[in-house]
Structure 1
Amino acid sequence: MVPQSTPSARRRYVKIAEAAEYLQVTDRTIRQMIADGRLTGYRSGGRLVRLDLNEIDGAMKPFGGAA
């Protein structure tokens, strides 16, 4: 029997531009975050790069007074 995947466990892949819009940063910032290891990029083919929105959400860390 195959376990049912929940919507939160399902991968939601987006383009770099879509990830940038989601975080309200530039494409360049997303590329830098991939380069320094803060985010994981998934390559399919030669140039096609996608990011998982669940991983982006998981990478966000609180800071400041409430942290």
Structure 2
Amino acid sequence: KIKRLVAQLNDGEEWSCALSSAGPGEFMVMVSKARLDAHGLRVGSLAQMSLRPDTSRYGMPVPEALAEVFA
């Protein structure tokens, strides 16, 4: 069951996100207003989004020195 994803909007910068339930059999990924604004989009705009499983250990980029502290 994949819940953590890496998303990319309109070939922009990738970010870590979560797959959330939007009702029976429906799912969503939250996109912040700041991210929409950065791409010149608004609610209801059409955009291309790519998603892939986040296979990182912590679900986000972690500096190597901090990862050593967690180990």
TM-score of the superposition, structure 1-length normalised?
0.23
More strand by share: 2
Q: TM-score, normalised by structure 2?
A: 0.22
Higher helix share: 1
